[in-house]
Amino acid sequence: MSNEKTINIGLMGLGVVGSGVLRIIREKARVLAMETDRDLRVKKILVRDREKARGVDVEPALLTCDPGDILDDSSIHIVIELIGGVEPAYTYAKRAILAGKHLVTGNKDVMANHGPELLRLANEQNVDVYFEASVGGGIPLIGSFRSDLVANEIHEIYAIINGTTNYILTRMSREGAALADVLAEAQRLGFAEADPTKDVEGIDAAYKLAILTSLAFRTQVDPAAIYHEGIMQLEPADFRYAQDLGYVIKLLALARQDNGRYEAAVHPALVPQSAPLASVDGVYNAVYVVGDLVGNVMFYGRGAGSEPTASAIVADVIDVAHNIICGVTNRIPYSIDASKSLKPMDAVETRFYFRLWAADRPGVLAKIATVCGTHSISIASVIQKEADPVNQTAELVFTTHDAYERAMQAAVQDIAALDVVTRVAGFLRIVDVGESV
Ligand code: HSE
């Protein structure tokens, strides 16, 4: 039991989230003091530029550009790391733990790449690492996986965990707009970064999926090993056909485990219109989980932004404060079953959708069907709607029954090489997740 009346915090990073955290700790000081029976005091703030204008009033004396002012100050109990990116954040996080400080971080890059190591180190040093804000902003996910769902064997996770792409896909779906136009407007409105690569290529979602999957499946998932495919190739026609077929297009982060092997991938997918995930629109995030005891559970909310993310950070700080007061650490162990292995993407089985332009004459469909048959792919439906009478071509849309990724990729290559096929224009996986009844 610690009797010190003040818990000192070192805040690293004073950007959008850091400013929100500072403001909330100050505005709610009385409530937080009642909650923890201690004063939570931000003692030092690490910034890159002390002169920069901030979205929050801050006494100049609190600011420092020297990380040592926090990491070497033995009176600081908790470091909140909100710098973002792997370095120097990872080095600072490690130094904080080795100096005996508790760490609260919202950094998905650090936790996806070095989380298990930091948790192990924290265990050795008898300090805590909390990282609720690293995935899904204010949505309670990490705590739920670490404690509320811990009695379950989690079989499946289907998640929409990138707000930028969900905003873009929602607008393309509603307005029939082209991706480049929606992306440009999203950037103008501040919903997409100036360099949106990590979001639109599915990298941000893969990092978040690595964190969730490591916790849920109790293993160590390497984010670099997660297959990821982005949204840039999607065309308005794909959204029209998805709707005709009873689906919506979402950038899905999914993971499933079975008999010691697990799948983990991020890619755009057709999701049934009747599934709860299909109605997660705009910048909202959701994570749909299937556990052996709890059944299906969906977490929904704002996955980014100053206040939702600060909500998770401040909650973690309060939890750590409770631990400090009670003189305990690592109440929730982090266990890893290293024998579980990631299934290669080409061994994953799912349904597929593909769209192509081909000659509009007898026998064309038969040639395409023959290629599918050769690769043991069973066609579930074919649509022909659009035709170009001048070039005598038609747009054909196929869906398949379950097939191996390896077989489907090979089939699409062979189909694209047929002399009757002008262009394979769309290729998506169909994920028949959790339809509500
Ligand atoms: N760029 C992320 C998103 C938010 O669009 O969801 C930060 O993780």
Question: Quick one: tokens of 17?
Answer: 């989230």
> 296 C-alpha vs ligand 1 centroid, how far in Å?
25
- Known catalytic residue at 208: yes
Confidence (pLDDT) at 436: 52
From 83, 141, 162, 191, the mutation candidate for ligand 1 (largest count of ligand atoms within 8 A of CB) is 162
Whether 162 lines ligand 1, by a CB cut-off of 6 Å, is yes
* DSSP character string of 271-290: EETTSGGGG--TTEEEEEEE
Residue 135 CA: nearest ligand 1 atom is: 8
3-state secondary structure of 252: strand
pLDDT tens, 386-434?
889 998 999 999 999 999 999 999 999 999 999 999 999 999 999 999 7
Cα(17) to centroid(ligand 1), Å: 12
Mean pLDDT of 160-182: 97
CA distances from 433 to 40, 192, 243, 356, 405 (A): 44, 27, 16, 26, 18
Give the pLDDT confidence of 311-369 residue by residue, as tens digits: 999 999 999 999 999 999 877 777 788 899 999 999 999 999 999 999 999 999 999 99
pLDDT tier at 435 (50, 70, 90 boundaries)? low
Note the pLDDT of residue 329: 86
Instruction: Give residues with Cβ within 8 angstroms of 200, minimum separation 6.
Output: 164, 165, 168, 183, 230, 231, 232
- pLDDT given for residue 30 in this prediction: 87
Q: How far is the CA of 161 from the centre of ligand 1 (A)?
A: 8
Helix (H, G, I), strand (E, B) or coil at 325: helix
CA-closest candidate to residue 248, choices 216, 212, 286: 286
What whole-number distance in Å separates Cα of residue 218 and Cα of residue 235? 38
Separation in Å, CA 209 to CA 56, 107, 193, 347? 32, 13, 20, 19
Q: What whole-number distance in Å separates Cα of residue 133 and Cα of residue 303?
A: 9
The model's pLDDT over 1-54, given as tens digits with 9 standing for 90+, comes to 456 799 999 999 999 999 999 999 999 988 888 888 899 999 999 999 998 988
**Of these residues, 43, 44, 101, 208, which one is catalytic?**
208
Q: How far apart are CA 305 and CA 313, in angstroms?
A: 12
For atom 7 of ligand 1, the residue with the nearest CA is 304
Under the banding of pLDDT at 50, 70 and 90, the label for residue 56 is confident
Strands 247-258 and 341-342: unpaired
Residue-wise pLDDT tens digits, 78-133: 999 999 999 999 999 999 999 999 999 999 999 999 999 999 999 999 999 999 99
- Among 109, 204, 284, 313, the mutation site with the greatest number of ligand 1 atoms within 8 A of its Cβ is 204
98 CA from centroid of ligand 1 (Å): 30
DSSP annotation of 376 reads: T
- Nearest atom, ligand 1, residue 303 CA: 6
pLDDT tens-digit series, residues 275-288? 999 999 999 999 99
Does the structure show a pLDDT above 90 at 259?
Answer: no
**What pLDDT is recorded for position 67?**
98
Interval 203-215 mean pLDDT: 97
CA of 137 to the centre of ligand 1 (A): 9
Check if 132 has its Cβ closer than 6 Å to any atom of ligand 1.
no
Mean pLDDT of 257-277: 96
**What is the three-class DSSP state of 228?**
strand
Mean pLDDT of 176-181: 97
Question: What residue's CA is closest to ligand 1, atom 4?
Answer: 304
The best mutation among 108, 132, 164, 309 to test binding of ligand 1, ranked by most ligand atoms within 8 Å of the C-beta, falls on: 164
The fraction of the chain above a pLDDT of 90, given in percent, is 89
Tell me if 303 CB under 6 Å of ligand 1: yes
Would you state the pLDDT for residue 337?
87
pLDDT value at position 4? 77
pLDDT of residue 226: 98
Query: Once rounded to an integer, what is the mean pLDDT over residues 202-219?
Result: 96
Mean pLDDT in residue range 218-239: 97
What are the residues whose beta carbons fall under 8 Å from the beta carbon of 84, sequence distance 6 or more?
Answer: 13, 15, 107, 109
Query: Ligand 1: distance of its center to the CA of 322 in Å?
Result: 30
